[in-house]
Amino acid sequence: MSLMTGEEYIESIRKRKMQVYLFGKKVEDPVDDPILRPSLNSVRMTYDLAQMPEYEDLMTAVSPYTGRRVNRFTHIHQSAGDLVKKVKMQRLLGQKTAACFQRCVGMDAFNAVFSTTYETDRKYATHYHENFKQFMIYCQDNDLTVDGAMTDPKGDRSKAPHEQADPDLFLRVVERRPDGIVVRGAKAHQTGALNSHEIIIMPTISMGPDDKDYAVSFAVPMDTPGIFMIIGRQSCDTRKREGSELDVGNAEFGGVEALTIFDDVFVPNERIFLNGETEFAGMMVERFAGYHRQSYGGCKVGVGDVLIGAAAVAADYNGAARASHIKDKLIEMTHLNETLYCCGIACSAEGHPTDSGNYIIDLLLANVCKQNVTRFPYEIARLAEDIAGGLMVTAPSEADLRDEKLGAYVEKYLKGVSGVSTENRLRILRLIENLTLGTAAVGYRTESLHGAGSPQAQRIMIARQGNLQHKKELAKTIAHIKE
């Protein structure tokens, strides 16, 4: 099968019989629901751009396993150059959608599971790596969107999975059968699950021998019996049902998270990638986290580009663009954003091959990248809000602007510089509101903090990868210390 078009992707999701719930009710048509559709449009962009010759080098790659051209989101990294192209692709998509385009987590799961299964097989003579390769080729050949699911609800964070009062607070194997396993549990904060064909499950933490039932990785279709999704609320999400493009800020694109439930789901043997080998759970977690922390040096930077541009337009419309403090704030926003990009490119350029042959980023630099992402977007957003002014959050609705009586007053009193319509001024302010406070803030500001692990998780990895002993020896050598 050739690469799908965006429209073919939409129709392929429409054919899936997923179980989706929103506001306490089952959503009968998730594809066309006004709250959910913008998130689908964001994923569609990953298909649309792959069809354009000018983006072919970034958006696609030739699979070394089939020799066919595939979407880069299903590719196994073959070089440091592939890792760099990944970050550049993510920045491009952030620029085109100003939202989360949702396929990064699946791509990062692909590469983490690929190398971990290879090393698991080498020790235990299992068949997980071949299982995964066949699944990967299936996804490449059918141009599928795959969600990666790592985060468990976790319950009492002071207790291991097997110590929880409720054993289902970490997804686990509840039955092992000759033809497969049955799993129960949930995966939280699942960005893009709603818009995916398949889902890859991974453990969420390193595990000990007593956690054997929780050390599980597998893939199943999103419409497998026993799987259903409860969609999370986002700020301003019901504006999408009001019919106002202006009030939403970014009416075309968005992101959606879900609490995804696995209620005794059967997984056939050929779709299992880890099943009780607890010592490899930590490897899979560490590698996935590293890849995903690299991703934030691309996607968040692309969205940041849009936010910086919106702030500059707002300054133009407010008549403040020439003010020195406005120029300085835009410079600072650009400096912070490009620093994030530098980290994403650096950890990619320093990538190296795993024993399986695919390439992994420099883990220290990837964690530095994500640690910066937990901070810089907050400052970029603050500066954008500062430049925009209070009207960003106090502006009347589009209904007021269109009203026969009220419209003239909105036009008169919310006018900025001459030559710019009041409507356009409101549009750019609503976009900034969307990116910093509204539905897109979930995929920009808040996700910058919690996505791919908490800030403390990165600090632990920085301490582990920082090689402090080597630095001590460097200092002792320069100081001519002999011990």
**Contact predicate 140/68, CB 8 Å:** yes
**Has 447 been annotated as catalytic?**
yes
Side chain identity at 84, as an amino acid letter? V
Would you give the DSSP letter of residue 255?
A: -
Read off the tokens for 255.
């992101």
**Contact predicate 71/46, CB 8 Å:** yes
**Has 138 been annotated as catalytic?**
no
**Contact predicate 306/107, CB 8 Å:** no
**Contact predicate 399/408, CB 8 Å:** no
Beta strands of 46-117 (E only): which ranges?
60-62, 69-71
- Of the candidates 100, 139, 343, 369, the residue annotated as catalytic is 100
**Has 162 been annotated as catalytic?**
no
Q: 436: closest CA among 112, 131, 98, 31?
A: 98
Looking up tokens 């409507």, which residue turns up? 423
**Contact predicate 308/337, CB 8 Å:** yes
Count of other CB atoms within 10 angstroms of residue 230 = 15
- Of the candidates 9, 75, 97, 104, the residue annotated as catalytic is 104
**Contact predicate 19/263, CB 8 Å:** no
- Of the candidates 119, 198, 257, 385, the residue annotated as catalytic is 257
- Report helix, strand or coil for 185: strand
**Contact predicate 258/232, CB 8 Å:** yes
Q: Give the angle 331-332-336 at the CA atoms, nearest 5°.
A: 120
**Has 341 been annotated as catalytic?**
no
- Of the candidates 74, 191, 374, 436, the residue annotated as catalytic is 191
- Of the candidates 126, 214, 299, 444, the residue annotated as catalytic is 299
Would you give the DSSP letter of residue 416?
A: -
State the pairing for strand pair 272-275/216-221. antiparallel
Interaxial angle between packed helices 363-373 and 455-465, expressed in degrees from 0 to 180 and rounded to the nearest 10: 150
Q: How far is CA 68 from the centre of its chain?
A: 26
Distance, in Å, from the CA atom of 386 to the CA atom of 368, rounded to the nearest integer, reads 27
User: Does 191 belong to an annotated binding site?
Assistant: yes
- Of the candidates 9, 118, 128, 296, the residue annotated as catalytic is 296
Distance, in Å, from the CA atom of 349 to the CA atom of 89, rounded to the nearest integer, reads 15
**Contact predicate 152/164, CB 8 Å:** no
**Contact predicate 115/355, CB 8 Å:** yes
State the pairing for strand pair 146-149/216-221. unpaired
Read off the tokens for 388.
């925009």
Read off the tokens for 73.
């989101």
Rg over alpha carbons for the chain, rounded to the nearest Å, is 24
Distance, in Å, from the CA atom of 249 to the CA atom of 388, rounded to the nearest integer, reads 14
- Of the candidates 277, 385, 398, 447, the residue annotated as catalytic is 447
Task: Catalogue the active-site residues.
Answer: 100, 104, 191, 257, 292, 296, 299, 447
**Residue ranges for the binding site?**
191
**Residue ranges for the binding site for FAD?**
191
